[in-house]
Amino acid sequence: MSDQRLEDRVAIVTGGGRGLGKATSLRFAREGAVVVVADLDKEPADGVVQEIRSNGGRASAVAMDVTKRDDVENVVSSTVSEHRRLDVMVTFAGVALFGPAMECTDEMWQRHLDVNLTGTFLCAQIAARQMIQQKSGRIITVSSIMGQRSGDRRMAYGTTKGAVIALTKHMSGEIAPHGVTINSIAPGPVMTKMWLEANTDVEASESTYLRGIPMGRFGQPEDVANAAFFLASDDCSWITGHVLNVDGGFIATGVRDGIF
């Protein structure tokens, strides 16, 4: 019996060429999944596929713009055509453009809506249609702790991530009778390239976050990949509409004075 717990499952990972998506693509491949690494920029996706294949895994890279329905439909249909099914869809593709609420432009607002919310909607809906036909499947959306609480300079980002949580919950009841689950990962601060680029003062942001994380460290991409693996696995067969915070305890705790 294989100890690869996603053996022969077929997974699409959007934003799979970098950061959290890359870590999840690598983890899925190690667990035996066939991984379709989808990214707006195909070059980093190709690099992830090369790494997977060099370690004996199975993967392919595709260019995909999650804001375009035709792109998403083409990737799902080509995946099903080649592999006969789609077992897991993970929606890491996203943008984070931080700035004061009073300075948020229409363009910045719309970009967050298009990628973070509409992109998630398209991937979830199109994947769900295929999974309903199969009577099985796992959809994993990616929200954020900023979709559950406020944060300075994060209005547009947090609003769309909060909407992703609502989307996840609303869709869960309709697809559950068909054997399809949808859950959301809400990462805390993970020092990816996107996080570093979004913060104008990385040092100040880092120290502020660390004061509020009881576990005393930033997350690693692998922490989020581990959560994605759990939600994709058979261990998650009776969990849907759930938001899994991967944040070192940041959301759960409030004022901490250090006096015990």
* CATH code assigned at 211: 3.40.50.720
In a domain, 42, yes or no: yes
In a domain, 249, yes or no: no
In a domain, 220, yes or no: yes
Count of Cβ atoms closer than 10 Å to residue 97 Cβ: 19
The whole-number average pLDDT for the span 29-55 is 98
Global pTM value? 0.95
Nearest-angstrom CA–CA distance, 213 and 210: 5
In a domain, 80, yes or no: yes
pLDDT in tens, 142-193: 999 999 998 888 999 999 999 999 999 999 999 999 999 999 999 999 988 7
Nearest-angstrom CA–CA distance, 78 and 120: 19
In a domain, 4, yes or no: no
Whether pLDDT at 3 is above 90: no
In a domain, 115, yes or no: yes
Residues 6+ apart with CB under 8 A from 96: 157, 194, 195, 197, 198
User: Among residues 157, 195, 229, 250, which one is catalytic?
Assistant: 157
pLDDT in the model for residue 1: 46
Known active-site residue 209: no
In a domain, 242, yes or no: no
Count of Cβ atoms closer than 10 Å to residue 40 Cβ: 18
In a domain, 255, yes or no: no
Domain total of the chain: 1
Question: What domain range includes position 123?
Answer: 10-237
pLDDT in tens, 11-30: 999 999 999 999 999 999 99
Q: Give the residue among 241, 175, 253, 163 at the shortest CA–CA distance from 214.
A: 253
Residues 6+ apart with CB under 8 A from 100: 152, 153
What is the gyration radius of the CA atoms in the chain, in angstroms? Answer: 18
The whole-number average pLDDT for the span 43-56 is 98
